[in-house]
Structure 1
Amino acid sequence: MKMRYRGMVPALALSVGGMLSSSVYAEGLIESLVEKTTFLGQFRIDAAFKTNSDQNPYNQNAFPYQNEEVSRQAFLPPDLGGGPWGTTPIPALPFVLDTNDTIIRDDRATAEDYDFNQVNLRFSGEMDMRFNRQWRLNVKLRAVFDPVVHDGFDAMDVMNDQGGIAKGRFDRYADTGETNFYQAKGRNGDNINPLEFAGRDYMVDFPTFIINYKSGKYDFRFGNQQIAWGQAIFFRTLDVANGLDLRRHLILDRGIEEFEDERVPKLALRATVQATQNILFDGFIGKFQPDILPNPGTPYNVIPAQFNKPLDNYHSGGYDSKLDGGFRLKGDYGNWGWQAMYVSRYNPLGVFRWAESGIEKGLTPWGGTLGTVVETGYLAKPRCSGDQNPYDNFCRLYDSVGEALSHSPFTVGPGGVYSDVEWFATAASVRVNGVDVINAAIMDFPALRDVFASPVANVDEARALLNTFFVASGGSIRGNLQRDYYREDVFGLGLSYVTETEDNNSFWNQIILNLEAQYTPERVFTSPDLGKDGLKTDEYIITLVAEKWHRWSESFPAAYLVGQFMHRSESDLVGLHLDGYGGNVGNTEPKTPDGISSANYLVFAGFQPWPNRKFIAEWAFLYDVEGGLLAQPLIKWNPGSGMSVDLYYNYVTGDLHGDGSKTLTRALDHVQEVGMRFTYQL
């Protein structure tokens, strides 16, 4: 025992010494890492104040016919022997049967007006930790808080009307309570962005969280990141690696920033290799992340709030496990350059189509006597048996109208569509065909034929069908959509040239010309009828960009100038198919869209610093050749001490010339705002 004990003493001493040595080494390593780590912080306030009285026409307080009295008449359905829709009006019987009425939408659903389109407080932080000359860790954090200076629409305010806005069996986080400014979830309740923590009035995420290895000609980045291949303002021809997050300020931030704040980060491995002296290889493979759209009721919402927030199938459809990938080759030879790219991806905008509501809610008791008659008539039908269906037989599929409607895209509830004219105006505003969407819903969902809906041949028949169901519901009917994603192969080519003149001071000297082209075969778009198969077609996009730095005088620094042109064969700038263009919106006679053949846009942007650089004048103009305009003049003040102030104006119109039915900006022409951004570098 003594021998053993004596042998343990030096071993124990060595062990303790090793522990002390390890502790000292760990402390030294930590100190070394801290010395090689940089921290940057920024505090920012963003605000945008409305300069007009127009409210967002996709929200509850500003829909078409919001304050107008509209008459509604119910008709006998063709399936009950009424002839084509609109042929046989159902007569009203006082105190017995209510089949016609008048309604003012604002009496049933409204919301607080917005004076500020945007008010949020933001902190951005960045940590860059270098382990050695090759390895580093880079983390960027973004935290946004909205003080909610306007409450917007609260679904609880209409809970006693038509039974309120029901939840059903899917996550309705954006529909059934107060306006939700930031959360983005799938239909199963899971967050769409994995490294994001969000609530009604805040969000925290990591735009960048990467491990970076760089040695010689090799540069590898793994983690959450943005991959910016584009260089065009407003345009995204080759910039296809990331989707866009449009919750904070849509596309109305500083145009010159080129989507810096909007790209959705994705978990990816990116490799950049200087393959030869002249050729650069840039490739990635990453987790698919879709576009994030504003929620209903928010100032920049773009989907009519008469519809429930589209059910996102990102998780339930298995898209959260899908990968995107692609590469780009870029070569430079003196004044000439070229690039070629290929990306296999899921289109991040996705395809919207009708969806089962999952909400079991019938017409009674809020539908009055007509609703009771419809439900009684439904129960009078025998149950379908064998291969019988309500298209060809007088039979029913379900035990009640409520159960049938749960298997259809339509739900009885307040704050939906209240009249035929509202239906057509809203449909045209989001580039869909008000007649075709009815027929597609009926054909794709047998439950609608089951409750006496049947296809319509024209606008007049559609108006008769719609008003019949609106009267029977006792108010309005809400629509339900879903979003799916489709893989596509995107091919791109680019050519660049830098001009040279004998006079180095000539305006035409050192202009950088870039021609970019994208071709995508069999791209799938949202169909103007919201049908289940979408609309599949080949698309090509061509963009020409001319940019230069030019010094007007010796007393002023050089100004940056850029002019751009884009031609798109099938879709508009945000990815909606052009077949949906041309319908009437607002308080006008219903007219279905007839489409346009192509979309063409022009951009002129740039900035000019003052001699002391305390001020910078900036501008960005987007012109839709069909008659739309987005103008953004801006002045930037740098008073020093890490502070800067941006003051700008956003002016949007959809009918600079023409009636506005064929312009992209028509969807945003309610936006006239003075914006301010205050930034303080910590």
Structure 2
Amino acid sequence: METTTKLLFAMGVSLPTVVQAGWWEDIDISLDGFVRPEIAIRTTSGENPYNQRGNIFNGQPVERTSFTTTDTVTRGLPQADNEFNLTILRGKAALNARLTGNLRFIAEVRGIYDIDEYDNYTLDDAPGTNPAGTLQRRPNLFEYRVSSDGGALQAREAPMALELTGRDYMVDLPKFFLDYNVGSLNLRVGNQQIAWGQSLFFRVLDVPNGLDLRRHSLLDYVPEEFSDKRVPSPAIRASYMLGSWELDGFVQHFRPTIYSNPNTPYNAIASQFTVHDLYGEVDDEVNYGLRVRGPLGPFNLQLMAARRYAPDGTFRWTQSGVDRSLTGAPGDMTGPLMAQTAFERDPTGVVSAQEWFHYAGLSRLDAIDGLNASINEFPAAQMLGAAPVQDEMGARLTLDTFFQASGGLRGHIAREYHRENVFGAGLSYVFRGEAGSIFDQLITNIEVQYAQDRTFTNVSLSRDYIVEDEWTAALVFEKYQKFSYQFPATYFVLQWLHKSESDLFGRKLEGMGGSAERAARDASDPSNANYVAFAFQQPFPNLIWRVDFAALYDVEGGLLLQPAVRWTLSREFSMELFYNYLEGDLGSKNPNYNAISTVDYADELGIRAT
């Protein structure tokens, strides 16, 4: 019996069980689970430019002009040639146990193993390299490493709740809580995800949890929204019904958004940077919030307020702490000074002014102001001969002078976290029209978020962060429409998002428009950001097949299209096939004006068999 149960459980078969003896007679336990491979096959030759072996300057001769001489440098790393963006085996098991009439225990264990079929970067690719930090030395797919309490770089795994990770595997408990329900009160205590928003791409009122981007970044199967991305956290959540109105509040342990590590398939932080994550300074802090929602005449209204640490964090220059001389030449005693700058001599860093300007643009940073901040805020840099510059020519001469002397400089940045107050309001209305018309039962939602004193990464990476209020607003139309008696109704959703200060990924708009030819400050930055999303689902008559389609358009010139097919052969087996088409260079504007261009290397065919 035990062997049979384990086999059925591994196959994903639900096993409701009711024990009929003694005081156990009210216990009802159900088990469910699945195992599935998930792969994403590359359909483009472009590699991830944020990784060492995807750097567009690899193998490309670039002229450098310093204050004293002109030379040509070729970044010596081999270019990767990947066939896959994703090759993981995922399993999940869920337990739902009714302990009493009012109390349930809900748990979910998730296991992920990456087969690691990637053309990976190794230290041998760059002779002479010896970068500080374990994450810079070998691709690490799952460990989230932060600085130790003493400040040692990437010295410990972050104390993530109920999670065990290694270089190529991850096991966690995204759900592990008690659910108590009596009368109008519902109480959940334990590790959990809190979903306050239901959207395809946009998060306006969905503020409690950060996102986990270690697996498939934001390019997963769109109909699942953020259900697999929200970072779980120990929390107490309580909701109470007052007539037709609901009060919903939470207190949770703060956990940040988890970015992909350097040189992994979907990494979005240029690998010429070394990140000192200072999560340890706030890992005992809590977030809390309250939401109220209910009917108001013909409308449904919701109001929310939260006091939280912004999960994405901010970035700034920080001392490298690496005692390695500027030139590496015998007798060069500049190591202690270099340790007090934001740089580390290493060939996996930036090697030319052209590369510096290009990657500042990709990162939505300002190439000139970024150089000046790394000089003005570090006296040791000035003692090494660096001086603030006034224009692009001065910046290029200064950069190439130091790159010629060093052979390459890695930038060191710190990730910090800041408190903010977030307020939101939502209003929904269901239109009544002629039966069967496009307007009948059309649901309209308006959501607005106001973030007070939000802290943004300065486009210069200065420690003088930008602190401004930000408005975010969304307009959403959704509807089920019957087009044929033979086919089930088609679901449509159309969304518009507006942000006043940052792009879809939270990057300040002042950093938009930079390129290898100019700094962002010499470009005309957009005054706001706007996005349009559209999606539909069409089940077939036998419900075995379903066609999905999703699109995201950045009005500054970026587009994501995801057509998909879902095949449900039986209760035990299903498959999804979807394609991510990304275009970040629509229209006449520089691609660094839009958010989609950040991932437009990742055209891919996704396959999941569950």
Q: Structure 2 length normalisation: TM-score?
A: 0.93
Out of 155, 162, 184, the residue aligned to residue 217 of structure 1 is 184
Deviations 1:175-224 (A, max 9, x none): 12x21111101112132523211111111111111011111111000111
Q: Which residue of 2 aligns with 1:300?
A: 266
Distance 1:434 1:252 in 2: 29
Q: Which residue of 1 aligns with 2:467?
A: 536
1:279 alignment partner AA: W
SS in 1 for 2:543: coil
Distance 1:409 1:214 in 2: 54
Q: Which residue of 1 aligns with 2:527?
A: 597
Distance 1:608 1:572 in 2: 31
Structure showing the higher strand proportion among its residues: 2
Q: Which residue of 2 aligns with 1:133?
A: 101
| Cα deviation, residue 528, structure 1 | 0.2
| Cα deviation, residue 70, structure 1 | 1.2
Q: Which residue of 2 aligns with 1:60?
A: 52
1:628 alignment partner AA: G
Return closer, same or farther for 1:424/1:364 CA change in 2, 3 Å cut-off.
closer
2:361 alignment partner AA: A
| Cα deviation, residue 156, structure 1 | 4.7
Return closer, same or farther for 1:634/1:27 CA change in 2, 3 Å cut-off.
closer
In the alignment, structure 1 residue 496 sits paired with structure 2 residue 456: no
Q: Which residue of 2 aligns with 1:16?
A: none
SS in 1 for 2:357: helix
Q: Which residue of 2 aligns with 1:479?
A: 411
Given that 1:213 and 1:221 are in contact with CA atoms closer than 8 Å, whether structure 2 keeps it comes out as yes
In the alignment, structure 1 residue 322 sits paired with structure 2 residue 253: no
In the alignment, structure 1 residue 118 sits paired with structure 2 residue 106: no
| Cα deviation, residue 100, structure 1 | 4.5
| Cα deviation, residue 166, structure 1 | 3.2
Return closer, same or farther for 1:646/1:180 CA change in 2, 3 Å cut-off.
same
Out of 557, 575, 591, the residue aligned to residue 645 of structure 1 is 575
Given that 2:59 and 2:77 are in contact with CA atoms closer than 8 Å, whether structure 1 keeps it comes out as no
Distance 1:504 1:166 in 2: 67
Q: Which residue of 2 aligns with 1:678?
A: 609
Out of 131, 147, 156, the residue aligned to residue 187 of structure 1 is 147
Distance 1:194 1:450 in 2: 44
In the alignment, structure 1 residue 313 sits paired with structure 2 residue 241: no
Distance 1:204 1:547 in 2: 36
Distance 2:343 2:503 in 1: 28
| Cα deviation, residue 637, structure 1 | 0.6
* Cα-Cα RMSD: 1.8
Out of 6, 26, 30, the residue aligned to residue 38 of structure 1 is 30
In the alignment, structure 1 residue 286 sits paired with structure 2 residue 252: yes
Q: Which residue of 2 aligns with 1:206?
A: 173
Deviations 1:14-33 (A, max 9, x none): xxxxxxxxxxxx99679658
Distance 1:29 1:212 in 2: 23
Deviations 1:577-620 (A, max 9, x none): 11100112xxx523434321000000101200000011000011
1:174 alignment partner AA: L
| Cα deviation, residue 109, structure 1 | 2.2
Out of 296, 305, 320, the residue aligned to residue 342 of structure 1 is 305
Distance 2:488 2:124 in 1: 56
Q: Structure 1 length normalisation: TM-score?
A: 0.83
SS in 2 for 1:174: helix
1:638 alignment partner AA: T
Distance 1:477 1:417 in 2: 5
Q: Which residue of 2 aligns with 1:383?
A: none
| Cα deviation, residue 522, structure 1 | 1.3
1:664 alignment partner AA: A
Q: Which residue of 2 aligns with 1:634?
A: 564
Q: Which residue of 1 aligns with 2:324?
A: 361
2:215 alignment partner AA: R
SS in 2 for 1:661: helix
SS in 2 for 1:435: helix
Distance 1:637 1:431 in 2: 40
| Cα deviation, residue 525, structure 1 | 0.4
Q: Percent identity?
A: 40
Distance 1:638 1:324 in 2: 40
Larger Rg: 1
Distance 1:623 1:230 in 2: 20
Q: Which residue of 2 aligns with 1:439?
A: 372
Superposed counterparts of 1:155-554, under 5 Å: 155-158=123-126, 160-161=127-128, 164-167=129-132, 172-176=133-137, 178-188=138-148, 189-275=156-242, 277-308=243-274, 310-315=275-280, 317=281, 319-333=282-296, 335-365=298-328, 375=332, 400-473=333-406, 475-501=407-433, 503-554=434-485
Q: Which residue of 2 aligns with 1:555?
A: 486
Distance 1:333 1:676 in 2: 44
Number of positions where the alignment pairs a residue of Structure 1 with one of Structure 2 = 582
| Cα deviation, residue 626, structure 1 | 1.2
In the alignment, structure 1 residue 147 sits paired with structure 2 residue 115: yes
Given that 1:144 and 1:203 are in contact with CA atoms closer than 8 Å, whether structure 2 keeps it comes out as yes
Distance 1:43 1:675 in 2: 16
Q: Which residue of 1 aligns with 2:152?
A: none
Q: Which residue of 1 aligns with 2:587?
A: 657
2:488 alignment partner AA: P
Given that 1:64 and 1:425 are in contact with CA atoms closer than 8 Å, whether structure 2 keeps it comes out as no
| Cα deviation, residue 67, structure 1 | 2.8
Given that 2:513 and 2:592 are in contact with CA atoms closer than 8 Å, whether structure 1 keeps it comes out as yes
| Cα deviation, residue 61, structure 1 | 2.1
1:144 alignment partner AA: I
| Cα deviation, residue 65, structure 1 | 2.7
Given that 1:193 and 1:289 are in contact with CA atoms closer than 8 Å, whether structure 2 keeps it comes out as yes
Distance 1:27 1:320 in 2: 45
Given that 1:56 and 1:299 are in contact with CA atoms closer than 8 Å, whether structure 2 keeps it comes out as yes
